[in-house]
Structure 1
């Protein structure tokens, strides 16, 4: 049996790259378009007499390059604590820059105040753009 030709190897590598790319994008999602400004998705507030549905304070833990939980709900103006239980520095930064923890060293934590405007705010780590989540203010 003859070894594969250079063309056959190149075709095999291209196929494998395409398959892995599809698997990775399904796992981590696609990157946002850097040229498109992002704004919080507005949610119509309920009657002013309704009680807030989110917690007054929430905690997000960063471990294994993941926000845990990635999607969370907090009251307007609530407190969000971010604990970095990973081995490298991370941030939790709104895509529209509404909130930003600045770099959090391994083993450290940071706290910020959630926006007062109700809505869904996409966020990510500025160092590792595949780390994403949504902070819902409700």
Structure 2
């Protein structure tokens, strides 16, 4: 969450897993991949290039979202 986010280039985004199940943050174009994030774990990525990044959870494919990075 959220399903869509807009940030300026150079922003560091952190996902925190507050669920009881493991998740991933996997870009559809392989730009980033958290691998397995255990419960209470986190993953951060800095997106320097403007564009649209769609991502999903490898374990739960219905969990998907988009990040719009502006220049």
Greater share of helix residues, 1 or 2? Answer: 1
Residue 77 of structure 1, aligned match among 10, 14, 26: 10
Name the structure 2 match of 1:96: 29
Larger Rg: 1
Distance 2:38 2:32 in 1: 18
Find runs of 4+ consecutive structure 1 residues off by over 3 angstroms: none
RMSD (Å), alpha carbons: 1.0
C-alpha displacement at 1:103, in angstroms?
1.1
Which 5+ residue runs of structure 1 have no aligned equivalent? 1-67
TM-score (norm 2): 0.89
Matches of 2:43 and 2:53, distance apart in 1: 18
Higher relative contact order (CA 8 A, sep 6+): 2
TM-score with structure 1 setting the length: 0.48
1:121 alignment counterpart: 53
- Cα distance in structure 1, aligned partners of 2:10 and 2:59: 26
Give aligned pairs, total.
70
CA-CA distance at 1:73 after TM superposition: 1.4
